[in-house]
């Protein structure tokens, strides 16, 4: 089972979702999750290995693709939003509504 990790790019404040765990979507849909996530190199590599192996390579990518995509995002400069501290909430305004005792 995969779990999502919200990621943010500190300079442009773009957000993305990385995943950790088993990619059931890669097992059932082959290289298309990589295409839908914008990971075109991953899509081409997966396509080039899944076609000659008649889909057996999907069993390997099922276990490794989410980690591969997460590492690709971190190489592009994305960081987990929780690790960014206040940067993850840079658009929020703190308003004091009254004194607390």
User: 20-67: per-residue pLDDT in tens?
Assistant: 999 999 999 999 999 999 999 999 999 999 999 999 999 999 999 999
Of 21, 84, 22, the C-alpha closest to 58 is 22
98 in a domain, yes or no? no
Cβ atoms of residues 90 and 18 within 8 Å: no
The number of domains in the chain is: 1
Helix and strand counts by DSSP (H, E) for the chain:
4, 3
More reliable by pLDDT, 67 or 94: 67
Residue 62 lies in a domain: yes
Size of the chain in residues: 101
In a domain, 94, yes or no: no
**pTM (two decimals):** 0.78
Domain residue limits at 69: 3-80
Residues 6 or more apart whose CB falls under 8 angstroms from that of 82 comprise: 6, 88
Q: Is residue 36 part of a domain?
A: yes
Q: Helix crossing, 40-50 with 57-75: angle to 10°?
A: 160
């Amino acid at each position: 089972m995969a779990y999502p990790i919200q990621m943010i790019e500190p300079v442009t404040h773009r957000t993305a979702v990385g995943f950790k765990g088993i990619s059931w979507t890669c097992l059932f849909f082959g290289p298309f999750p990589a295409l839908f996530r914008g990971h075109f190199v991953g899509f081409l590599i997966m396509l080039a290995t899944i076609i000659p192996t008649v889909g057996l390579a999907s069993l390997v990518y099922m276990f490794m693709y989410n980690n591969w995509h997460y590492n690709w995002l971190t190489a592009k400069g994305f960081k987990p939003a929780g690790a960014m501290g206040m940067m993850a909430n840079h658009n929020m305004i703190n308003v004091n509504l009254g004194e607390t005792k």
